[in-house]
Chain A
Amino acid sequence: MRVAVRLASRMLLAALPLALLAGCAAPTPWVKPYEREHFADPIMSFNRDPVSSVYLDHVFESREGARGATGSVGGGCGCN
């Protein structure tokens, strides 16, 4: 019994580095390329009409204290 436990412990120790290495491997894509047709639909775009979304960001930032993290870059202006 004691030998079996010791053997199991050694096997676990040997497997540990392999498990760690496996953690470094690139994950297998869980959504295959042929399953992504919905993301090609324009309605799934985060920014379907840039000319419009950028304008609305501008309207809000001109009237609010918060700024940033909208996914777009704003230029400078005196807009309030």
Chain B
Amino acid sequence: MQLRAGGSGVHGGSARALSPFTRTLLALGIAVAPALAGVLPEDRADVMWHLYKGGDITIQGPSVLVRKKVGDNLSLSANYYEDMISSASIDVKLSASPYHEIRRQESVAADYLHGKSTYSAGFITSKEPDYKANTEYFAVSQDMFGDLTTLTLGYRRGWDRVYRDIKAPQGFIENDPTFHERADHRGYSLSLAQILTRNAILGFNYELLTDQGYLANPYRQIRFLSPGQGAGFALAGQVYPTTRTSSSASLQLKYYLPYRAALTGQYRFFHDTWGITARTAEVDYTHPVRKHLIFDGSFRYYHQGPADFYSDLFPRANYQNFMARDRELAAFNSYTVGAGASWLFAMPFAPALGKNSINLRVDHLMIDYSDFRNALLAGTYGAGNEPLYKLNANIFQVFFSIWF
């Protein structure tokens, strides 16, 4: 939720971050493509608490995921996920005020196994004070070539409603009655899992996503040079295109090491019609110790070029037809170092629950922006000469898993 002073055109509340169109793809995801089809996932329940802290934003909440077979061919799953957000980010400080809000997301899914094929369908709904989204998806997986190859085709469709919150004269927060937008999304995916050798498996994913509708963030603003005024710049609303199409392709190679450990390498290439090109590379290492402990370590590198219509500081108002200053559209490099540990144990008084685990994971995220400056320091350095912004964040996950 973000606030806007009623009728004044000036932010009176918070600023969120990115655009609804990007918002549209986020959140929880349900794994559609199992690495190997022809086998339904295990019955399992996970209860997680997650915490993100960085850039003067704290986001935490629970996630509960339950999966259960019904008969031999059907597996059902459900997830409840919650984000409790407390934000005083740099965007908020520039043009709004700190805010708190809760986003709740529920999803259900079904996987039906028929021979060497698995048919999947699911529905996800997300609600927050100023954004409501529904997504449905379908996928079919087929084992081929002696079960060495699994091919998965997927389709998804999303409908979002975008609102803008304002502070009413009475002091409470409400949706701006003059602002109600929509955004539609479609996605097409192809996944392939291929056993290469008795120790190596390759994964390939391709996804085409299209968006249409209101894709801007109704709270964030651009800034443009305005000599002699305040810190030397002024703010104005963002103008986004109303369509976007993106393509992304990824490769994953996983190798079983001789002493029972796993090494994974991943690479993803992304490009869209807004001019953003991004590359992601990641290495993961998994090392079990005896029967009851599993340790994980990972390093992720992400590089992104800017959108064609992004600028940290435009030369003047109405400089071009599309203008944005969302830092998610800026150029930056991102590094994430992560470590995790899982302890597997048997429940003392419930032998039917043969396998359980307690899991802890910590990730440290560092983002170095190449063309997003700390505009809060414009008074000291002058507009356009402020230091580049850097984000450091810690991400914690604690979850308990039961197989039943």
Contacts and interface: CB of A to CB of B under 8 A. Distances in A.
Interface of A: 26-31, 33, 35-36, 38-39, 41, 43-80
Given A27-B145, A45-B35, A55-B48, A75 B28 contact: yes
A17 to B, nearest CB: 23
Interface in B262-288: 262, 268, 270, 272, 274, 276, 278, 280, 286, 288
Contacts of A43: 256, 260-262, 286, 288, 294
B307 interface: yes
A26 B217 CA distance: 51
A20 to B, nearest CB: 19
Interface in B145-165: 145-148, 154, 156, 158-160, 162
A54 B32 CA distance: 11
Interface string B172-206: 00000000000101010101010111110101011
Contacts of B78: none
B334 interface: yes
B278 A64 contact: yes
Nearest to A79: B26
Contacts, number: 257
Nearest to A34: B198
A63 to B, nearest CB: 6
Given A35-B198, A77-B23, A69 B248 contact: yes
A52 B397 contact: yes
B390 interface: no
Interface of B: 16-18, 20, 22-36, 46, 48, 50, 52, 63, 65, 79, 83, 103, 105, 107, 122, 124-126, 128, 130-131, 133-135, 137, 144-148, 154, 156, 158-160, 162, 183, 185, 187, 189, 191, 193, 195-199, 201, 203, 205-209, 217, 246-250, 252, 254, 256, 260-262, 268, 270, 272, 274, 276, 278, 280, 286, 288, 294, 302, 304, 307, 326, 328-329, 334, 336, 340, 342, 359, 361, 363, 365, 367, 391, 395, 397, 399, 401
Contacts of A35: 198
CB-based closest 6 A-B pairs: A76-B133, A80-B17, A29-B146, A72-B29, A75-B124, A78-B131
Contact of B246 (A31, A48, A50, A67): A67
- Residue in B148, B209, B361 whose Cβ sees the most chain A Cβ within 10 Å: B148
Contacts of A67: 22, 25-26, 209, 246, 248, 270
27 contacts: A43-B260, A49-B401, A50-B31, A51-B46, A51-B399, A52-B340, A53-B31, A55-B50, A59-B52, A62-B17, A63-B328, A67-B209, A68-B209, A68-B270, A69-B248, A69-B249, A71-B191, A71-B203, A72-B30, A73-B122, A74-B28, A75-B135, A76-B26, A76-B126, A76-B159, A76-B185, A78-B23
- Residue in A26, A46, A57, A68 whose Cβ sees the most chain B Cβ within 10 Å: A68
B25 A61 contact: yes
A57 B48 CA distance: 15
Contacts of B209: 67-68
Nearest to A76: B133
Nearest to B183: A76
A61 B340 CA distance: 21
A72 B79 CA distance: 14
A61 B18 CA distance: 10
B250 A69 contact: yes
A28 B147 CA distance: 11
A78 B103 contact: yes
Given A51-B46, A52-B397, A65-B22, A77 B27 contact: yes
Contact of B148 (A31, A57, A77, A79): A31
Contact of A54 (B31, B126, B302): B31
